[in-house]
Every structure is written in C-alpha cells, then in structure tokens.
Amino acid sequence: MPPRQSSLSCQTGNPINGCWRCDTNWEANSQCLADCGIGIGARALGGKGGQIYMVMDSLDNDAVNPTLGTLWFAVIQEEPLWIICFENILIKLKQGLIFNIFETLDGRGATVHIVGSGCITLQYISNVIIHNIYVHHCIPSGDTNVKSSPMHFQLLLSSL
C-alpha cells in the first residue's frame, strides 16, 4: 500500500478524510481507517482485524433477539467487527443501541442515518470507531430490555 499523503494533497480539508481518501483503493483497504485517528481517538482500533459485517436490514423489531443482517445484531457481538452498510439506509431505532468493544461502524460508501428512540449508547467500553454516520432526532426510549452481548440482555433505564 502506498504511503499516506497529507490532507492538503488530497484537498479534503479534513485530516481524517485525507488519510483514507488518498488511497485510491480505500474500499479494499477499508480497515486502514483505524490508522487515521487523531487526538483522543488516535489509538482506537475499532474492529480492525475483525470480520466485515454487512448491515442489509434496517429493522429494529426485537432488541433482545436481533436478526442477522441488522445493525443491532452486529453491535452486540463480542469479537472485533468492521460494520458497513450494503446501501443507503435509514435505521429507526425503538430502543438504545448498545455497542460492544472493538467495533467500527463505517458509513463510507453509503448514506447511513440512525434516528429514533435511545440512539447510540457507548458505556464501559473502548476501541469503538463511528465514521460518516448521521445520528439525529434521538428521543429517550424509556426503560426497556436490550441485548448487550449475544448471551446477555439488560434493562436499560432512561435518563432523568
């Protein structure tokens, strides 16, 4: 792989985007995004080295038993994952989405919107990368059961 160029030579105006956009084969080398962090997230690995998981289903019907192909199913896995979306997608959450350690949600190549109840929860974890994802119109979901790993679900209490 060719050495990374500065963001000025790529003319992105953004050092993180300049890091990966300089690679003309960035889709094949997508996990190199983990090497582009700056500041407090500079050493976050995300799902680097893990399997690629394709989100192909926008449904959020069951946070305790999520379906393969959904974002919910991906984020509760315990092994490192590089999560990408198959196509442009709008994910309307009914409950908060709880990420596990060592995961990347990579929105490059598609337009990905996450909206609805709870939105994204990152607690007691590290090494998570979320890039090029639109998260908006989030509202409290109230107290609800959600799955936080393949074998464990918990009551997620709403904030006061």
Q: Tell me: the pLDDT tens digits for 35-70?
A: 988 888 888 999 999 999 999 999 877 777 889 999
pLDDT at 2: 45
Dihedral sign, CA of 66, 54, 111, 127? positive
Which of 85 and 160 is assigned the larger pLDDT? Answer: 85
Residue 15 DSSP code: H
154 band by pLDDT with thresholds 50, 70 and 90: low
Which of 2 and 78 is assigned the larger pLDDT? Answer: 78
pLDDT at 160: 42
pLDDT at 79: 93
Q: What is the rounded end-to-end Cα distance, in angstroms, of the chain?
A: 49
pLDDT at 159: 55
Residue 9 DSSP code: H
Residues 143-152 have a mean pLDDT of 69
Dihedral sign, CA of 127, 54, 20, 92? negative
Question: What is the distance between the alpha carbons of residues 100 and 148, in angstroms, rounded to a whole number?
Answer: 7
100 band by pLDDT with thresholds 50, 70 and 90: confident
Residue pair 7/13 in contact (Cβ under 8 Å)? The answer is yes
pLDDT at 31: 92
For all residues of the chain together, what is the average pLDDT?
83
